[in-house]
Amino acid sequence: MSRKPVAIGSDHAGYEMKGLLIDELRALGHQVLDLGCDGPESVDYPDLGKAVAEAVAGGQAERGVVVCGTGIGISIAANRNLRVRAVVCHDETSARLAREHNDANVLALGARLIGSEVAKACLRVFLATEFAGGRHAARVAKLGG
Protein backbone atom coordinates (compact mmCIF):
# COMPACT_ATOMS: atom_id res chain seq x y z
CA MET A 1 0.00 0.00 0.00
CA SER A 2 1.23 3.48 -0.81
CA ARG A 3 1.77 6.04 1.92
CA LYS A 4 -1.20 8.21 1.00
CA PRO A 5 -3.44 8.81 3.99
CA VAL A 6 -6.25 6.50 4.95
CA ALA A 7 -9.52 8.46 5.00
CA ILE A 8 -11.84 7.71 7.90
CA GLY A 9 -15.30 8.87 8.84
CA SER A 10 -18.12 7.84 11.12
CA ASP A 11 -21.50 8.86 12.34
CA HIS A 12 -22.26 9.33 16.04
CA ALA A 13 -22.72 5.58 16.61
CA GLY A 14 -19.23 4.92 15.27
CA TYR A 15 -17.50 7.93 16.82
CA GLU A 16 -15.81 6.05 19.66
CA MET A 17 -14.68 3.19 17.40
CA LYS A 18 -13.37 5.70 14.87
CA GLY A 19 -11.04 7.06 17.57
CA LEU A 20 -9.71 3.59 18.33
CA LEU A 21 -9.14 2.94 14.63
CA ILE A 22 -7.32 6.24 14.17
CA ASP A 23 -4.99 5.22 17.00
CA GLU A 24 -4.45 1.85 15.31
CA LEU A 25 -3.76 3.47 11.93
CA ARG A 26 -1.16 5.76 13.46
CA ALA A 27 0.42 2.87 15.36
CA LEU A 28 0.76 1.07 12.02
CA GLY A 29 2.51 4.10 10.55
CA HIS A 30 -0.33 5.43 8.40
CA GLN A 31 -1.28 9.04 7.92
CA VAL A 32 -4.94 9.69 8.73
CA LEU A 33 -7.43 11.92 6.95
CA ASP A 34 -10.19 12.29 9.57
CA LEU A 35 -13.35 13.48 7.84
CA GLY A 36 -15.61 13.46 10.92
CA CYS A 37 -17.78 13.28 12.82
CA ASP A 38 -16.23 15.23 15.65
CA GLY A 39 -18.30 14.09 18.62
CA PRO A 40 -21.12 11.84 19.82
CA GLU A 41 -23.90 14.24 18.74
CA SER A 42 -26.28 12.86 16.13
CA VAL A 43 -25.16 13.31 12.50
CA ASP A 44 -26.29 11.86 9.18
CA TYR A 45 -24.19 8.87 8.07
CA PRO A 46 -24.70 9.54 4.32
CA ASP A 47 -22.68 12.75 4.61
CA LEU A 48 -19.71 10.95 6.19
CA GLY A 49 -19.86 8.00 3.79
CA LYS A 50 -19.88 10.41 0.87
CA ALA A 51 -16.91 12.40 2.23
CA VAL A 52 -14.74 9.30 2.61
CA ALA A 53 -15.80 7.99 -0.81
CA GLU A 54 -14.88 11.29 -2.45
CA ALA A 55 -11.46 11.28 -0.77
CA VAL A 56 -10.73 7.75 -2.01
CA ALA A 57 -12.16 8.30 -5.50
CA GLY A 58 -10.36 11.62 -5.82
CA GLY A 59 -6.98 10.18 -4.85
CA GLN A 60 -6.55 12.11 -1.59
CA ALA A 61 -6.56 8.74 0.22
CA GLU A 62 -5.39 5.29 -0.78
CA ARG A 63 -8.20 3.54 1.10
CA GLY A 64 -11.02 4.48 3.39
CA VAL A 65 -12.73 3.34 6.56
CA VAL A 66 -16.32 4.16 7.50
CA VAL A 67 -18.11 3.30 10.73
CA CYS A 68 -21.75 3.52 11.76
CA GLY A 69 -23.94 1.39 14.00
CA THR A 70 -24.09 -1.55 11.60
CA GLY A 71 -21.73 -0.48 8.82
CA ILE A 72 -24.56 -1.01 6.36
CA GLY A 73 -25.97 2.48 5.89
CA ILE A 74 -22.62 4.19 5.64
CA SER A 75 -21.38 1.56 3.16
CA ILE A 76 -24.42 2.17 0.97
CA ALA A 77 -23.63 5.89 1.04
CA ALA A 78 -19.98 5.29 0.11
CA ASN A 79 -20.95 2.91 -2.69
CA ARG A 80 -22.93 5.66 -4.44
CA ASN A 81 -19.55 6.73 -5.81
CA LEU A 82 -18.77 4.52 -8.81
CA ARG A 83 -15.05 4.46 -8.00
CA VAL A 84 -15.64 3.02 -4.54
CA ARG A 85 -16.11 -0.58 -3.50
CA ALA A 86 -17.12 -0.37 0.16
CA VAL A 87 -17.67 -3.61 2.06
CA VAL A 88 -19.08 -4.37 5.48
CA CYS A 89 -16.75 -6.78 7.26
CA HIS A 90 -17.36 -8.67 10.49
CA ASP A 91 -14.14 -10.65 10.74
CA GLU A 92 -10.63 -10.98 9.35
CA THR A 93 -11.67 -13.46 6.67
CA SER A 94 -14.27 -11.14 5.16
CA ALA A 95 -11.75 -8.28 5.22
CA ARG A 96 -9.07 -10.38 3.51
CA LEU A 97 -11.40 -11.73 0.83
CA ALA A 98 -12.87 -8.29 0.17
CA ARG A 99 -9.39 -7.09 -0.75
CA GLU A 100 -8.16 -10.26 -2.51
CA HIS A 101 -11.24 -10.96 -4.61
CA ASN A 102 -13.10 -7.65 -4.86
CA ASP A 103 -10.34 -5.03 -4.67
CA ALA A 104 -12.44 -3.25 -2.03
CA ASN A 105 -11.09 0.19 -1.24
CA VAL A 106 -13.34 1.19 1.67
CA LEU A 107 -13.81 -0.89 4.82
CA ALA A 108 -17.16 -0.47 6.60
CA LEU A 109 -17.57 -1.55 10.20
CA GLY A 110 -20.54 -1.75 12.54
CA ALA A 111 -19.70 -0.35 15.96
CA ARG A 112 -22.81 -1.89 17.48
CA LEU A 113 -22.06 -5.33 16.01
CA ILE A 114 -18.36 -5.99 16.52
CA GLY A 115 -15.92 -5.25 19.30
CA SER A 116 -12.89 -3.03 19.13
CA GLU A 117 -10.37 -5.88 18.86
CA VAL A 118 -12.22 -7.44 15.93
CA ALA A 119 -12.49 -4.02 14.27
CA LYS A 120 -8.75 -3.43 14.63
CA ALA A 121 -8.01 -6.92 13.27
CA CYS A 122 -10.26 -6.27 10.26
CA LEU A 123 -8.47 -2.97 9.66
CA ARG A 124 -5.00 -4.52 9.82
CA VAL A 125 -5.93 -7.30 7.40
CA PHE A 126 -7.76 -4.91 5.05
CA LEU A 127 -4.70 -2.67 4.81
CA ALA A 128 -2.16 -5.49 4.49
CA THR A 129 -3.93 -7.53 1.82
CA GLU A 130 -3.33 -6.91 -1.87
CA PHE A 131 -5.80 -7.52 -4.68
CA ALA A 132 -5.14 -10.95 -6.22
CA GLY A 133 -6.02 -9.86 -9.74
CA GLY A 134 -6.07 -12.77 -12.18
CA ARG A 135 -9.52 -14.29 -12.57
CA HIS A 136 -10.95 -11.64 -10.24
CA ALA A 137 -9.82 -8.66 -12.34
CA ALA A 138 -12.43 -9.06 -15.08
CA ARG A 139 -15.20 -9.39 -12.49
CA VAL A 140 -14.09 -6.28 -10.62
CA ALA A 141 -13.91 -4.41 -13.92
CA LYS A 142 -17.59 -5.18 -14.47
CA LEU A 143 -18.39 -3.31 -11.25
CA GLY A 144 -17.49 -0.02 -12.95
CA GLY A 145 -15.34 2.88 -11.84
Q: What are the residue numbers of the active site?
A: 68, 101
Pick the closest to residue 94 from 69, 121, 134, 75 (CA basis): 121
CB 101 within 8 A of CB 107: no
